[in-house]
Structure 1
Amino acid sequence: MIDVLPPTQPYLRPQYPVSTERLLLRPLSAHDVEAIHAYRSRPEVCRYVPFEPMTRELISERISSSWARSELTEEGQALTLGVVIAETDELIGDVVLFWHSREHASGELGYVFNPDFGGRGFATEAASAVLRLGFEELGLHRIVARLDERNEASAQLARRLGMRQEARLVQNELFKGQWSTELDFAMLADEWSARRTA
């Protein structure tokens, strides 16, 4: 029998910036519009994610509303953080933690990065920081990542994080005019702890 533990706290209020070895994670602001537009406007970046290439106007709109959140206080909310290289102060992507259920202590990880900064481990480093926030500060039991099977770079990132593939949903969704096969990855809090202490 598995012990059921409640979340350690009913909210997430990180101390900003959230620092990693090379990166700073912080809430997005109006000053980030150009840097975000540099990657979220690119068709190749948006190909396998649930949005189309974004205009500066749409990015500004998002920042003034849903992306401006700096804490999670209720299930159903999402915390989107800009990822900045500490040494250069360049914003190179954004990561998101969705809080799906308080009762089930479940969440979801998402990430979008500027491909100009790929191949250096920045996405892995930033996504790992989000897992830490979810498990260690919000007290989640389970975090998932759902992605299009054709997005091999995203699947490799989930595997590098230590998330295990739990499902392959064949042609489960009509996505941008084509049938998409979804891969579902997941990690549990005790798996996160084991990786941290290994």
Structure 2
Amino acid sequence: MYPVTITSARVGLREFTPDDVDALTAIYGDPEVTEHMSFEPRSREQVEATITAVTGAAQAVPRTEYSLAAVRPDGDLIAFARLAVDTQHPGQSSGQIGFALRADQWGQGLGGDVVRLLLRLGFDELGLYRVWGARSPLNEASARVMGRLGMVEEGRIRGHLKVRGRWRDSVVHSILAPEWRRPGADDSRPSSGA
């Protein structure tokens, strides 16, 4: 599916363009934003390489990587949003989500808006059965976001990632299609523009 455009009242997801390098550097270059991520702050050159890679992956057939810019209605890029469809188990229907929200946008519920749009993409547009995300055990804000959207904490993967020279655990959360489609689970979902 290309291009992807999914919107809600406060946030939309769209494909990245080369013009997004500076806006994404404000997110990926911020030590506060990357504190709980699997990588250290990135330089402008590294972000430029990331955008080149994700715009190339967007053209793949079949498409398995959905790395998208999360933007406000005025076009302000506020987050990197990602859904990766599992290709290691053909015939399975699973995807992993992740996101990084610009620090000046924290505390406004926008992380939840971004994750909700990723879940819409996974379940409503791609027909996935399971969507999961992993977080640092110290990232309580991410735990709250996923929990509010019905994602169940499944457990801890010990020694999952080597970050900043040390091994770190990850806590996995997931949601299944029947839980997402449960009546009343998310009555605020507007229709998709994908």
TM-score range, shorter chain: 0.7 to 0.9
- Contact kept, 8 Å, 1:165 with 1:185, in 2: the verdict is yes
Q: For residues 24-59 of structure 1, what are the alpha-carbon distances to aligned partners after superposition, in whole Å with 9 as ceiling and x for unaligned?
A: 210111111111111210112112212221111111
1:85 counterpart residue number: 72
Q: How many residues align?
A: 184
Distance 1:72 1:184 in 2: 28
Counterpart selection for 2:113 from 105, 125, 135: 125
Distance 1:163 1:41, change over 3 A: same
1:142 counterpart residue number: 130
Deviation at 1:68, TM superposition (A): 4.5
**TM-score normalized by the length of structure 1:** 0.84
Alignment of 1:167-178 (within 5 A): 167-178=155-166
1:6 counterpart residue number: none
Alignment of 1:17-166 (within 5 A): 17-70=5-58, 73-74=61-62, 77-86=64-73, 88-101=74-87, 102-166=90-154
Distance 1:72 1:151, change over 3 A: farther
Deviation at 1:171, TM superposition (A): 4.5
Which residue identity lines up with residue 98 of structure 1 in the other structure?
A
Q: For residues 62-89 of structure 1, what are the alpha-carbon distances to aligned partners after superposition, in whole Å with 9 as ceiling and x for unaligned?
A: 21223454467437x3111101110x32
Which runs of 5 or more structure 2 residues have no equivalent in the other structure? 189-194
1:181 counterpart residue number: 169
Deviation at 1:113, TM superposition (A): 0.7
Q: For residues 88-131 of structure 1, what are the alpha-carbon distances to aligned partners after superposition, in whole Å with 9 as ceiling and x for unaligned?
A: 32101111000014411011010001010111111111110110
**TM-score normalized by the length of structure 2:** 0.86
- Contact kept, 8 Å, 2:58 with 2:65, in 1: the verdict is no
SS at match of 2:181: helix
1:9 counterpart residue number: none
Identity percentage of aligned residues: 29
- Contact kept, 8 Å, 1:107 with 1:144, in 2: the verdict is yes
Moved more, 150-159 or 16-25: 16-25
Which runs of 5 or more structure 1 residues have no equivalent in the other structure? 1-12
Distance 2:48 2:164 in 1: 24
Distance 2:167 2:127 in 1: 35
RMSD of the TM alignment (CA)?
2.1
Answer yes or no: is 1:193 the counterpart of 2:193. Answer: no
